[in-house]
Amino acid sequence: MKSLADLKISEKGIIKSFSDEALSIKLIEMGCLPGSEIQINFTAPFNGPIAIKVAGYHLSLRKEEAQSISLEE
State in angstroms the smallest separation of the CB of 41 from another protein.
7
State in angstroms the smallest separation of the CB of 2 from another protein.
20
Identify which of residues 2 and 26 has a Cβ nearer to another protein in the complex: 26
Cα–Cα distance, 4 to 38 (Å, whole number): 8
Strand extents, DSSP E, the chain: 12-18, 37-43, 50-54, 57-61, 69-71
Q: What are phi and psi of 6, to 5 degrees?
A: -85, -10
| Binding residues for another protein restricted to 9-68, rule: CB under 8 A | 21-31, 33-34, 41-42, 44-49, 51, 55-62, 65
Cα–Cα distance, 50 to 60 (Å, whole number): 6
Q: Which stretches of the chain bind another protein, using CB under 8 A? A: 21-31, 33-34, 41-42, 44-49, 51, 55-62, 65
